[in-house]
Structure 1
Amino acid sequence: MASETERRHSLSIEPGMDGLLDEIDKFSDIVVDVPGKISRQQLFTQIYLDAQNFVREKSNLEQLVSFIDLTTLSGDDTPGRVERLVDRALSPVKGSSVRCASVCIYPARVRDAVQRVKQFNDDLPVASVAGGFPSGQYLLDTRLAEIRLAVAHGATEIDAVIDRSIVLRETGADWAQMYAEIARMREACGADARLKIILSTGELRNERNIYGVSMAAMMAGADFIKTSTGKESVNATLDAAFVMCTAIRRFDELKVQPRRVGFKAAGGVRSAEQAAHYALLTRAVLGERWAEPALFRIGASVPLLDDICPRLQMINY
């Protein structure tokens, strides 16, 4: 029988990635408390308090808008709905130059969004879900082809789901396969599209799995790790976000690759306060460098804007 190392190499894992299993084994030592020697619960309590003041400031609310990947992922999405989504993302706040970070849609609607953006002579990124969204339960070749098609149609960001069964199978998680599949997704994106890997944390069962998939995704080349599809029964939570941000911090410390990985909270974020929770958590664990759209995103539909924008108008007047 082939050794674990031999089997991992047979799946085209780079020799430098052999530390993945070692990192997962260190989970309990790494994911304990936050910088500053306070407990996770103390951090969350402080975040809940700070968020109340955070959302009263105009600059903070505008910053939250700039983090949003404005999303529609409904079975009845039409070209017209996607065009209206682009319009809203480009000018979400009356009288302000702030805009959303991107629009996020299904692959079949990418061309509609790209054409609408071009009509405004703008460079708003168009993100597409892919990889067998939302379940990931499709053949790998099918999932990779979907990514390539979305990029060919103009998507510059790909939000790809993982096959959660690779982690959840009864014989134990196959981290080598998880790494290898994400590496193939990275390759399918090409040089011009950023890859966000969706963990679906509510279906991964425990924090060790969340940490493991986070590390596998980053080592395989993901530009972002993202909490949820928005279709699971349990979507984004502060606990899952804390584990993911801790994994990002660890990856940054390891300096495996000369790049920083972003974090995206998605699923159930409908109010300014909820958005602020994730922004403040990311800042607490990862620092001010992550307080920009290049490294922090919020996946949300129009209702989040509908909550933030009236608050901005009240402040303005």
Structure 2
Amino acid sequence: MKAMLSAAPGGPETLELTELPDPEPAKGQLLIRVHAAGVNFPDTLIIRDLYQMKPPRPFAPGGEVAGEVLAVGEGVTGFTPGDRVLALTGHGGFVTHLTLPANMAIPISDAMPYEEAACFIFTYGTSYHALKDRAQIKPGESLLVLGAAGGVGAAAIELGKAAGARVIAAVSTEEKAAFCKELGADETLVYPRELDKAAQKALSTEIKSLSKAEGVDVVYDAVGGAYAEPALRAMAWKGRYLVVGFPAGIPSIPLNLTLLKGTQIVGVFWGASVFREPKGHAENMADLMALYAQGKIRPRIHARYNLEDAPAALEMMQDRMVMGKIVVTMS
């Protein structure tokens, strides 16, 4: 088997393509021939030891995969060789073969291409958990998505629309704004890459004007940094502010704003919820598969890379040049 490994902390350029013995499934495990692996922002952090999880080295990045079951370990029921599956791995996905506990695998239909399956669980799982479980978004409410052209942001647009919300997509370029319109966003705004106090005030004013009310009900913040405060200032009474990620830095929030607006700041740690609340995760995945079958959600793949070019995929991700998803293919 081939694997793109992180042997020492560093950027994508430190990854090494390596030949390893093919694994064998242990008791309760599946052996998967990986066809595709999704690329996500945490992959750029985990190789630098900047993510919540720090797996022992050497390890392969890649937190979600799709592929074919080659063999089943002792005691496994419900799967047979040839089954098509996707799985959330956390890391280890940039490989041609892997073993994983059978209860981590989710069957997929023949109608779902491997590339789309590999780009499905992380972004839609995160955004559905955020909007359904943490924000409890309701039809008719307004939703502001910061970083709306990225993987989780694009998923939040689609899921927000599926929930009956009015979606405002905030992005850094006109090209990304056009992409969000294609996804179904009702309104778009382009924010500057650098924000001083005057620019923060202007951004808050623009968000309020687009909300067509006293402010937005739900903020989905996958950006952080200086963009957090103006978004919080533009919230409606009893709004819910979803903390999803910090590619622009961890913000400092004036907590008096939460008192004045009766808002909630709500953390979204989907990876932990998967393990802490497996029943809820299973229900959410069933909902998402139904939405996919209905054509209401579909991963938009921005670029495809072969396994040997996986470092370039991570470079594109860390430079925030992606609209939708990137996938690494193993063929």
So what's the TM-score if we normalise by structure 1?
0.30
Bigger-Rg structure (1/2): 2
Higher helix share: 1
So what's the TM-score if we normalise by structure 2?
0.29
Higher strand share: 2
